[in-house]
Amino acid sequence: MTDRDDMMLESFFKQAAQQQIEDDGFTERVMQSLPERRLLTARRLSQLWTLFCVVVGVALFFAFGGLQVLRGLFIGGLRMMLGWIEVFVATAPTAEIPVNLWAVLLLLAFVLIYLPYRIGHKLSAVL
């Protein structure tokens, strides 16, 4: 589209937005008759339910040893990463391909972030 088309569309919609449809106050009466208290009560109940679920979730996390699971995931990922570094360091001098340090660091960041996530995802599917 060109600038001229954009200007035409903008002026058309600006005129349409300023146009008022006469409804003899029907819209205002409907808006006044809406139950505001019900909306506030529903919102409050939604917030309380969310708070309750968060509290129960945190309590279950600690009750079933969630910290130990996270610690195990972290240590397992760290050991796996250190094993890969060891293999890389042992085999890199024998390779005839030059090693890009940034690619290695990007791979390590991927392993540190993605692998614990996938292991946690698999464990949550089993539980």
Output the CA–CA distances (angstroms, integers) from residue 29 to 18, 22, 41, 45, 125, in the order listed: 21, 13, 22, 27, 52
pLDDT of residue 15: 76
What gap in Å lies between CA 102 and CA 87, rounded to an integer?
18
pLDDT of residue 18: 72
H helices of the chain, in order, are 3-18, 26-33, 36-63, 66-91, 101-126
What gap in Å lies between CA 113 and CA 120, rounded to an integer?
11
pTM for the structure as a whole: 0.39
Residue 77: how many CB atoms within 10 A of its CB?
Answer: 20
Q: Give me the tens of pLDDT residue by residue for the chain, a chain 127 residues long.
A: 577 888 888 888 777 777 777 788 888 888 787 777 766 788 888 999 999 999 999 999 999 999 999 899 889 988 988 888 788 777 766 666 677 778 878 888 887 788 778 888 887 777 6
